[in-house]
Chain A
Amino acid sequence: MSTISQEAVVVRPAAPVPSQDTAVRTSRVARTFIYLVLLLFALFYLLPFAIMVINSVKPLSEITGGNMLALPQDWTIAPWLSAWSTAQIGVEPTGLRPYFLNSILMVVPAVAISTILGALNGYVLTKWRFRGDTILFGLMLFACFIPFQIVLIPMARMLGLMGLAGSTPGLILVHVVYGLGFTTLYFRNYYAAFPTELVRAAMMDGAGFFRIFWRIMLPVSGPIAVVSVIWQFTNIWNDFLFGASFADLDSMPMTVGLNNLVNSSTGVKEYNVHFAGAILAALPTLLVYIVAGRYFVRGLMAGSVKG
């Protein structure tokens, strides 16, 4: 150690400060290689989407002519308009619009209710502990592991008994019940790291159960709420099984509508319309990810690393 000259320590030229994202300093060659691989994978993942987009703005004749990969010679948005409002779905030429609305009417309340209930559950399970709370939480976690198919028949019976069969409220109920396990898990783990002294302080300040939740807990729950919303939104929006099983014509969600559009056995298969419809069905989740995605990662990491 003593052989290191003082000079070496003092007059070292300032090395480029590594940014926060690069924990390991890499050479230029390694960098190029990394970016090349990343680009390759990005292309690999984007290709199917690109083909969908390309073919959704082509006339059908160009697709059936065998030019799936080529750019359209004739740009048109007719397939989109058709998919949205005039395409034949089942027996009605309604387009996907009513199903899109059904899905929105189902997803928004279902996500909101399951997230709020999950937050309340997490709050009670961590800050208002009672005998057997960990067992209860363990049981709730089971909801995360039960396959959808198992509950189909009992759920159908329950919905029938409650008079909610084949309706949007019925679907909302199903999704809330099924999502509670996840949202409770998220919020419980998030609130477990939240200092209990704050709750006690608020209690001494005279705030009650809901006031503490509303004024103290919720304002700091942003990251985990985003996680919960994204998770629930994607799951519920993309659900096909419950939608196909429990909805009737007035309440069918987008996924079922899309299936009916693509699988209609009459007439010509309008691939360009199908592509447009599929993109329409994927847009909302895409939007949620773009808007809230960075909070998603941040929220998932919260608690594991301090700060």
Chain B
Amino acid sequence: MGFLDIRNVTKSYGSVEVLHRVDISAEEGEFLVLVGPSGCGKSTLLNMIAGLEAISSGDIAINGRVVNGVHPSKRNIAMVFQSYALYPNMTVGQNITFGLEMHGVPKPERDKALAQVAKLLQIDHLLDRKPAQLSGGQRQRVAMGRALVRNPDVFLFDEPLSNLDAKLRVDMRTEIKKLHQRLGRTIVYVTHDQIEAMTLSTRIAVMNKGYVQQFGTPKEIYDTPSNLFVASFMGSPSMNLIPAKVAVENGAPHVVVMDAEGQARLLRLSQPALSAWSGREIVLGVRPEAITDPEGADRKSLNVQPLKNRVTVTEPAGSDTFVTTTLGGKDIIARMRADASVSPGEVFDFAVNMDKAVAFDPVTENRIA
């Protein structure tokens, strides 16, 4: 049992079930991110934790207490909204302390808490301003201040960075991460941005169509996605998914893939269990960074397979060079060192780190190894 427990929770509107038996939990101090495309039910789930939407079945428990039906203000939670939802008629100071006032905290204590939070977020100089006089980043800080001052068990963030411009978003992301490291509080954070999810979280729930597709640490999600949806949703550029066939050669399982010229190529798989799939179709999943030039290959890997193939496009991005080639009839992206000498049209020696490759069942779309 964790600090925040979501047990078998469903949500229906009338006869339509929009969330199906969600079962996740987070320990105290964890940074749980709910990520998924729009309409996947992540915001609904957050609103249910907040108490703004009723739970159709199942239980939500915070700090050992089941909070189904408990009023939002009595759950000891605080929320940062997407639009910040700052009260336009109140000053920054009043905005931050409104919750304390509503909970009957006396004025001297409120002022003390306000001073602390303002210092923490570096908004001391803004306390007498109205929200309309603040920039986007400042509003974001005030919204966080309003949540922090309550000293809640759980912080809820509803896509808090989506209204900021790209640069500020990255800065605020770091700020939030710092804040979490400093305060060590439990956070539930909703986003559709997989980079935010990866960088911030200690645990991710990837959601789609009302189901939790995978729940795990960022590393688990990234390295061993449980199905094709998670594999393609997480990571940018996303994982290469190559149609292939399994064949056993010299007692070890190999994949047979078509290269750009339509020639069959053999790559030895690192998972012996895949011998059972001999002769059958699979989808091979390889992250772009697992396909490199031979010098750039992971030295610690026990199974780097060479692969000659024709290059179609190269895209130097400064820090890396993205190289596109064709495998199994699909465009495949390889991520190479910036100084790798590759030119379009040439036949290049790729190195595929098969230790990092995963395999999916093309029918059920689940990972098999």
Contact = CB atoms under 8 A, between A and B. Distances in A.
Contacts of B85: 195, 197-198, 200-201
Contact of A204 (B78, B82, B89): B78
A60 interface: no
Nearest to A222: B89
Given A203-B52, A203-B72, A205-B73, A216 B81 contact: no
Given A200-B52, A203-B72, A195 B83 contact: yes
Contacts of A269: none
Main secondary structure of the interface of B (DSSP, over half): loop
Interface string B73-91: 1000111011101111100
A52 to B, nearest CB: 43
A205 to B, nearest CB: 4
Interface residues of B, number: 22
Given A197-B81, A197-B83, A200-B52, A205 B102 contact: yes
B137 interface: no
A43 to B, nearest CB: 43
A200 B51 CA distance: 10
B83 A204 contact: no
Interface in A228-253: none
A192 to B, nearest CB: 16
A214 to B, nearest CB: 11
Given A198-B87, A219-B89, A203 B81 contact: no
B99 A206 contact: yes
Contacts of B102: 205-207, 211
B229 interface: no
Contacts of B150: 205
Contacts of A198: 85-88
A144 interface: no
A204 B103 contact: no
A205 B98 contact: yes
B72 A204 contact: yes
Given A200-B52, A219-B89, A206 B83 contact: no
Nearest to A196: B85
A187 B83 CA distance: 23
Interface string B46-57: 000011100000
A200 B143 CA distance: 13
Nearest to B82: A197
A202 interface: yes
A120 B83 CA distance: 25
A36 interface: no
A37 B316 CA distance: 69
Contacts of A211: 102
A220 B52 CA distance: 24
Contacts of B72: 200, 203-204
A207 B103 CA distance: 8
Nearest to A219: B89
A203 B83 CA distance: 16
Contact of A201 (B51, B81, B89): B81
B103 A200 contact: no
Given A197-B82, A211-B102, A206 B73 contact: yes
Given A206-B99, A206-B102, A206-B103, A201 B88 contact: no
Nearest to B73: A206
A216 B73 contact: no
A197 B43 CA distance: 13
A201 B139 CA distance: 14
Nearest to A207: B102
Given A197-B81, A211-B102, A204 B87 contact: no
Contacts of B73: 203-207
Contacts of A220: 88-89
A220 B85 CA distance: 14
A200 B81 contact: yes
Interface string B38-73: 000000000000111000000000000000000011
Contacts of B146: 201, 205
Interface string A178-198: 000000000000000001011
Contact of B99 (A197, A200, A205, A219): A205
Contacts of B78: 204
A203 B79 CA distance: 11
Interface string B141-181: 00000100010000000000000000000000000000000
Which of A200, A202, A220 has the largest number of chain B CB atoms within 10 A? A200
Contacts of A207: 73, 98, 102
A207 B50 CA distance: 15
Given A204-B77, A206-B103, A220-B89, 19 more contacts: A195-B83, A197-B81, A197-B83, A197-B85, A200-B79, A200-B81, A203-B72, A203-B73, A204-B50, A204-B52, A204-B73, A205-B99, A205-B102, A205-B146, A205-B150, A206-B73, A211-B102, A215-B87, A216-B87
For the complex of A and B, 3 pairs with smallest distance between CB atoms: A206-B73, A205-B99, A206-B102
7 contacts: A197-B81, A197-B85, A198-B87, A198-B88, A203-B52, A204-B52, A219-B89
